Amino acid sequence: MLSLRNSMRAPLRSPFRNLPKIPSRFISSSSITAKSTYRTPDFGECIQEDRNPDKSRTFAYFMVGSLGLLSSAGAKSTVETFVSSMSASADILAMAKVEVSLAAIPEGKNVVVKWQGKPVFIRHRTDSEIQEANSVDMSALKDPQQDSDRVKDPKWLVMLGICTHLGCVPIGEAGDFGGWFCPCHGSHYDISGRIRKGPAPLNLEIPAYEFEDDESKLIVG
């Protein structure tokens, strides 16, 4: 008992005191295998006679390749999901365009249609109105723009019915210039939708539109 306690206490006094004297090359960590005393057993009897190493290689590489195949297809699918979530959905696309039959609008009349939640003014202008729109002096305008730049066909004026001041909807066939008048803060627009008087800074906006079927149909959007 006493000797056991002595031997247990011994390392506490000096940890390196009882270390066996070993050559320094066994402490080195390089080329352990060169110093190994392990004798590899001979598995020769267990190995198949007609062993083909390409078989196991083919199997291993096939598995690696299959993993690569599935991961690349999955990665592509993930990327595609994120990218396609940025494009417009089908319900938005369905509302993107509005068709208007122009045959129902007599000359000198306004029509308001809803396009993407916004009002669009369509006016079938008379010849005198077209002349009036073209005779305006550019220097008199706050936002100078030729009438020909604002229409595709001078007969049809198509524009967004949102006042460029604070977004009210102007009233048609009103105001000092025979065009539109915004009741909110008193902006007057002329027969080409250009700002003439009042706080609005810009002319009424023109949306993208096209005529179809020999100008009997208008497609806004």
**Interface with other proteins (CB under 8 A):** 52, 54-55, 57-58, 61, 65, 68-70, 72-73, 76-77, 79-80, 84, 90, 93-94, 96-97
DSSP letter assigned to residue 102: G
Q: Is 188 a catalytic residue?
A: no
Whichever of 58 and 101 has its CB closer to other proteins, that residue is: 58
State in angstroms the smallest separation of the CB of 218 from other proteins: 16
Whichever of 97 and 109 has its CB closer to other proteins, that residue is: 97
Q: Which tokens go with 109?
A: 């009349």
Cα distances (Å, whole numbers) of residue 10 to 1, 3, 4, 7, 88: 14, 10, 10, 5, 80
Whichever of 60 and 166 has its CB closer to other proteins, that residue is: 60
Strand order in the sheet with 110-115: 110-115, 118-124, 156-160
State in angstroms the smallest separation of the CB of 159 from other proteins: 23
The Cβ of residue 154 has, within 10 Å, a number of other Cβ atoms equal to 17
State in angstroms the smallest separation of the CB of 98 from other proteins: 11
Catalytic residues: 185
